[in-house]
Chains A and B, each alone.
Chain A
Amino acid sequence: MLREERYPKEPPALPQYDISPELKKLVLMFMGAALINFLIAGGLAMGMRIMQEDVPVLGVNTTEQNVLWYAFLTAHGQTMMFGVLSMNTMWFSYYATSKWGRKPLSGITVAKASFWIMEAAIILILLSTLFGFGAGWYNLMPLTFLPGQPDVTWGTGAAATFLTADVLVGVSLTLFCIVIITTVLRGKIAVGTQRRQNADADEVHEHVIHLENLPASVRWASLLGITGWFPRKWRLATPHVSILVVAAFVTAMVQIVGNPGLFVQLAHGFQSIQDPTTASNWLLTKDAWWFFAHPIVYFPLLIFLGGLYFFVPRYGKENSPYNKWVYRPWPFYFAFSVLVFSHHVFMDIPNPVWLQMLSQTATLGIVWPSGLTIITILTFVWRSKISWNITSRFFMAGLAGWAFGGFQGAQTGMWGTDMYLHNTMSIPGHIHMILLLGPLLFAFGVFYAIFPDLTKKHMSKTLGEIHFWMTIFGGFGFALLFNIIGTEGAIRREAVMPDAWGWAMPWLLFFALIVGIAQFLFVYNFARAAKRKPTAEEIAEYNSLHRDPQSMGTAEAA
């Protein structure tokens, strides 16, 4: 039953360029660490679900159990956000920039440092949990410094540990951004130039160029996808980088703009630890956090949207050499991602009016490129003879989860509806929809697709299918349930759920268990494939896909 089937059935249409063994090892390290973090963070969520079932872990309705619940809540949130979702983005961005840019990563040592620093941060976050730290994943100051009863909850040391972890998160993310941006901007990179062939079809001419040789405006227009909006005549004259390079570049640009928000918040925090009487402007720290934290919510997403744009048409056997709609959303993703921290500050009435207006504009604004992405991907699938392998399954399920979650994002992005949704359970519903059932499913899809390129081996198809269906069933189950009770007025971050929603708790635990069991199957599948030797057939396939590993290969730039 667990025979190694060639999977996906048809070899993935990856560029023939072979990334360095060192980078392959780093990507596998990231994948392994993200998986371990995922199991830990999932275990914390399971603990929360069990406690909300009124299971007396430390005693129902006792301070101790509530403290434990909030400690789990905090660690679950940050470990998922940084140790799983951010790490996924890091490995795929490193891989994609090198693979589709067809060039080695600038600064593999720095990339390795970003891995170790991020993992150290996750360990510190988990350590602070042991001390009872539980100020929420959003580190809502001044709660961070309010230990309450020192004998049952956290002290200054735990808060300092947590803040230090977040400094490391910021450093790791910044190093990541620098590696991606310099890799793209320095040296030669693969580009395609559209060539007018006849009235019906264009072909793409592939070559490598130094981007520095382009005028700055053209270079940036190309990297941010703006060229998609150029009139046809100009488009034909402009070289375009691979959509995956655009995605990685936009991801890095958004995050490097957002990161200072984290550092501003943390600086206020350390200042408050040193001298509590210099109480900060807590509204500013909150705004600063979300200036960082909304980009970090898009951070897990964008590179994988690039993956969808690349893989889905190939599985659907669409051979359009260049599609302007693939590039068109990206300047909007860039601009709105950095402005769209609205959901989080709408209910803060003292915020300035212009900020509230800007936030609503940006939130509704980012729906627009998202909608474009969804329709473009669907046109790839429509009337195509798509091969439903694990990757395309995960991609389409992720597209549905992300689209549904995105609609909910639009609701929270409007003041008049956020009023009824802010801090209700529908927000965890939204976030699990848009992250767990979006980027995480995309990441699983990419994981299965590039695993053979990294290891020359295939993972078991049977286990993969079971992993897929269980994850989808459980994930949509509890995310939808979160939404239903949230709309009814159930508040999020309640260690003890009011009786009015007691009926939902066993169901939430049930769905969460399904998702959890599926991940153990995935880890087993991964570890089993990683350990064994590649078969002769697998080696032959790998070699045929890398006949000319340093060449430009076949047309893949779009």
Chain B
Amino acid sequence: MAAVNLAADYGWGPYTLVYIFIIVVCVTAGGILISMLTTKMREQSALSKRQYRFETWWAIGTAIVLVWLWVISYNWMPPVAFSAIASTPESSIQVVNVTAGQWFWLMNKVSQGPLQPGNSSQVVLTAGEPVKFIAHSVDVNHGFGVFAGPSDGAPILFQMQVIPKLDNVFYYTFKQPGVYMVRCLEYCGYSHPYMTSSITVIPQVAGTNTNTNGTSSSKTIVVPTSAPASNLPSPSSGLIFAESRAGSHILSALYPPALAGMTHLPNIVKGGLS
């Protein structure tokens, strides 16, 4: 299904492209430098070098590569990548509200109503179904970064900036069930390193969605392939934020009461909470 191929699941992934670039750099820089620095002619006039026309061919070659990179990147641009979601029925999209603040993440599925005190601030989502994240910041810029594993050491899956007073929207479809770490990727104050949370993705029940290869309609359950169950946080673990480690302010209870009472927030940007 087309809508699955959204956002960070296109392109070459975090490692492949980086390594290709590194290899290209090392090989070309190393090769050129070695040949330049070791080959010395006894007599060499500038004019006879000119006839090699390095620059002309190099200029044409690099221009072609750059145009090619631009073209393949076009589909990765968020508006272009997200446009595929337009063909997906609204009902099959999981809409998640994300609220970022110093220093916490609150997440809730819109279909389950507003977040209530005592509820978990983390979401449980279904693999294979598109997710629409709508993120807001109650104070400063944050970065909503989702990692491909339950803890540090996993590569980034996708990210977006969470700018105060704006709707920051990102579409993504989790393919694998498991636990995904959420980390703030934009420096947002002295407890920024502790601003983490997680998203739990459970397997899709096959046959209940459009995700079939057309050969079977049996209700087999997809077995999670990552993150053993023991790694799952308890559903009521609530906020993961810095206070215990950094000794910062105390967010005594879950919101909305807590948000209203956040005295550490200065008198700016109270807007942005939807």
Q: Do the two chains bind?
A: yes
Which chain A residues have a beta carbon within 8 Å of chain B's beta carbons?
61-63, 66-67, 70, 134, 136, 140, 142-143, 145-149, 152-153, 200-201, 272, 276-277, 279, 281-283, 286, 313, 318-320, 325, 328, 347-350, 353, 356-357, 360-361, 364-365, 367-368, 371-372, 375-376, 378-379, 381-385, 396, 400, 403-404, 407-408, 410-411, 414-417, 419-424, 426, 487-501
Give the secondary structure class of B's interface.
mixed
A147 touches B266 (CB 8 A): yes
Given contacts A376-B55, A494-B193, contact A400 B37 (CB under 8 A): no
Most chain A CB inside 10 Å of its own CB: which residue of B24, B156, B160, B167: B156
How many A-B pairs with Cβ below 8 Å?
256
The closest CB in chain A to the CB of B186 belongs to: A423
A371 touches B17 (CB 8 A): no
Given contacts A349-B168, A356-B78, contact A491 B18 (CB under 8 A): no
Closest 10 interchain pairs by CB? A416-B76, A420-B14, A416-B11, A498-B152, A493-B187, A500-B153, A320-B46, A500-B152, A66-B190, A276-B268
Q: Which residues of A contact B59 (CB under 8 A)?
A: 368, 371-372
Min CB distance B70 to A, Å, is 5
A283 touches B58 (CB 8 A): no
Given contacts A371-B62, A489-B154, A493-B187, contact A62 B246 (CB under 8 A): yes
Which chain B residues have a beta carbon within 8 Å of chain A's beta carbons?
7-8, 10-15, 17-18, 21, 24-25, 29, 32-33, 35-37, 39-41, 44, 46-47, 49-50, 52, 54-55, 58-59, 62-63, 66, 69-70, 73, 75-79, 102, 139-141, 143, 145, 147, 151-156, 158-161, 163-170, 183, 185-194, 245-249, 264-269, 271
**What's the Cα separation between A491 and B194 when bound, in Å?**
12
Given contacts A282-B164, A282-B269, A419-B158, 11 further A-B contacts (CB under 8 A): A63-B247, A146-B189, A149-B249, A357-B77, A365-B66, A382-B39, A382-B49, A383-B41, A404-B25, A411-B21, A426-B18
Min CB distance A60 to B, Å, is 10
Given contacts A140-B187, A143-B187, A349-B170, contact A201 B163 (CB under 8 A): no
What are 23 residue pairs bridging A and B, where the CB atoms are less than 8 Å apart in the complex? Answer: A61-B246, A136-B187, A142-B139, A142-B269, A146-B102, A282-B269, A286-B141, A347-B159, A349-B170, A372-B59, A372-B62, A383-B36, A403-B25, A404-B25, A407-B25, A414-B69, A415-B78, A422-B185, A426-B18, A488-B153, A490-B152, A499-B152, A501-B152
Given contacts A368-B63, A381-B37, A384-B40, contact A489 B269 (CB under 8 A): no
Q: Which residues of B contact A372 (CB under 8 A)?
A: 55, 58-59, 62
Q: Which residues of B contact A277 (CB under 8 A)?
A: 267-268
Task: Pick from B50, B139, B158: contact of A146, CB below 8 A.
Answer: B139
Q: Which residues of B contact A320 (CB under 8 A)?
A: 46-47, 50
Min CB distance B48 to A, Å, is 9
Q: Which residues of A contact B152 (CB under 8 A)?
A: 489-490, 498-501
**What's the Cα separation between A282 and B164 when bound, in Å?**
7
**What's the Cα separation between A381 and B36 when bound, in Å?**
6
A148 touches B264 (CB 8 A): yes
